Amino acid sequence: MPRPPKFGEDQIMDAAMRLVAEGGPNAATVAGIAGALGAPVGSIYHRFKSRDLLLARLWIRTVKRFQVGFLRALEADDLDEAALGAALYNVEWTRRHVDEARVLLLYRREDLAERWPEELGEELAALNTDVERAVRDHVLRRYGEGGGAEAVRRVVFALVDVPYAAGRRHLVNGEPPPLLVDELVTQTLQRVLFDRPET
Amino acid sequence: MPRPPKFGEDQIMDAAMRLVAEGGPNAATVAGIAGALGAPVGSIYHRFKSRDLLLARLWIRTVKRFQVGFLRALEADDLDEAALGAALYNVEWTRRHVDEARVLLLYRREDLAERWPEELGEELAALNTDVERAVRDHVLRRYGEGGGAEAVRRVVFALVDVPYAAGRRHLVNGEPPPLLVDELVTQTLQRVLFDRPET
DNA sequence: CGTTTTTTCGAACGTACGTTCTAAAACGTA
DNA sequence: TACGTTTTAGAACGTACGTTCGAAAAAACG
């Protein structure tokens, strides 16, 4: 019996995403988001209690979308294949979702939603634990119990930081990372993770 | 004969830097900067024509301070020593100047000064050319004429992107990067720049 | 066809912040 | 000590933006 919705949550988050990708968090004003959709501002607030909540939800949605493939890649049986797959998935996802990647990689969570809504606190914590557990598992498989914090840092560097660094420069220009990036990431992993030098 | 200044330009930029390092560009309001110094807002505008100009000047000052050592490191006679020196200088500078590094690495130029003041256009261009020339020289020394754009991208990845990414994770927590980062950066350079595999 | 419920729609309000403006203060110098 | 110049000082103004509010529109159902 109700009037059918004309502007859904995802639609609104999509518009916000494009604005953020284009001009940074400050460009994603409520009026701007509404304007991009041809919607009145009131409709935005009918879906989201506040702008901070909207952008926080956008952040969570983006992280989740990214993590799906990353976590799956890490599950590969072969150890090095899992690591390389995860690192290269990182690059490939950036390549295929430039706008989403700009939101995720060019800004920090705090820059998007200045005051993180408390009602999303546990959801945020859950995001981290999933990846943290997967990384810990990988460290355990690779280095056994003796790894320690340095081993974790090394794996994070290889699987997250390096692909991030390689892709970021291109993201800034609004372009997908070229194939050379895959090669650079692969080479880095070979030395940082796969090799076992005596030193 | 004039009244002596109580708040100098550098002093004001220092206050702005701390606010940005602490809470991001939006936290560096004119009133906030003035408040941090115990100065009235009018004095800020007596030194800087606008907030954008202030933050733009802060950006330029920070980049210049960083570049001094980076460019010097690249001048080393030995090729690999130059590359490794520049990459590790990157990490070391971050380690020694956490606040400045947060301004430089956690935000982009556009996030600091939303509309870059045109009067600083050439100064900004000059910043880039210095480093670009140094990098091109290094590429030429390392790969000769046949390098091309891919060789430049490889060197930038090794000397800039990787150290940046390795340090960033710690900067976000407001901590200086640990020594492990130097090792990771070194290993990456060994594989990406120093080795000459047949593939 | 009227009732009910949900959503649209946009005007209106409050606030935070960049910027301007006018007056007074502080210092060197004549 | 009076004058000129620069800076301090902070109140005042305008604007951009987040948020609220009330009314109208649109469907489903009896």
Q: pLDDT for B45-77, tens place per residue?
A: 999 999 999 999 999 999 999 999 999 999 999
Q: Is the CB of A7 under 7 A from strand C?
A: yes
pLDDT value for B2? 79
Percentage of residues in chain B having pLDDT higher than 90: 91
Q: pLDDT category, A197, cuts 50, 70, 90?
A: low
Q: What is the CA radius of gyration of chain B?
A: 19
Q: What is the mean pLDDT of chain A?
A: 95
Q: Is the CB of A11 under 7 A from strand C?
A: no
- Cβ of B165 within 8 Å of Cβ of A161? The answer is yes
Q: How far is B186 from chain A (nearest CA, A)?
A: 10
pLDDT value for B199? 45
pLDDT value for B140? 96
Checking each nucleotide's C1' against the CA of A40, the nearest proves to be C9
Secondary structure (3-state) at B58: helix
Give the Cα separation of A91 and A163 in Å (integer): 6
| Residue given tokens 């340095």 in the structure block | A150
Give the Cα separation of B14 and A75 in Å (integer): 48
For the entire predicted model, the pTM comes to 0.94
Does any CB of chain A come closer than 8 Å to the CB of residue B20? no
pLDDT value for A2? 79
Q: Is the CB of B50 under 7 A from strand C?
A: yes
Mean per-residue pLDDT, A64-77: 98
Q: Is the CB of A1 under 7 A from strand C?
A: yes
Q: How far is B180 from chain A (nearest CA, A)?
A: 7
Chain C positions with any atom < 7 A from a protein CB: 3-12, 16-22, 25-29
Protein CA A193 to sugar C1' D18 (Å): 48
Which chain A residue's Cα is nearest to B157? A166
* Contacts with A, B 145-174, CB within 8 Å: 150, 153-154, 156-157, 161-162, 164-166, 168-169, 172
- Cβ of B162 within 8 Å of Cβ of A164? The answer is no
| pLDDT above 90: residue A3 | no
Q: How far is A162 from chain B (nearest CA, A)?
A: 6
pLDDT value for A129? 95
- Cβ of A165 within 8 Å of Cβ of B162? The answer is yes
Burial label for B122, CB within 10 Å (0-12, 13-18, 19+), is exposed
Give the Cα separation of B87 and B101 in Å (integer): 15
- Give Cα A13 to chain centroid, integer Å: 15
Per-residue pLDDT of chain B (199 residues; tens, 9 = 90+): 677 888 899 999 999 999 999 999 999 999 999 999 999 999 999 999 999 999 999 999 999 999 999 999 999 999 999 999 999 999 999 999 999 999 999 999 999 999 999 999 999 999 999 999 999 999 999 999 887 999 999 999 999 999 999 999 999 999 999 999 999 999 999 999 998 654 4
Q: At what angle do helices B51-74 and B121-143 cross, to 10 degrees?
A: 20
User: Where do the H-state alpha helices sit in A24-161?
Assistant: 30-37, 41-47, 51-74, 79-96, 98-106, 109-112, 121-143, 148-156
Which chain B residue's Cα is nearest to A177? B153
| pLDDT above 70: residue A6 | yes
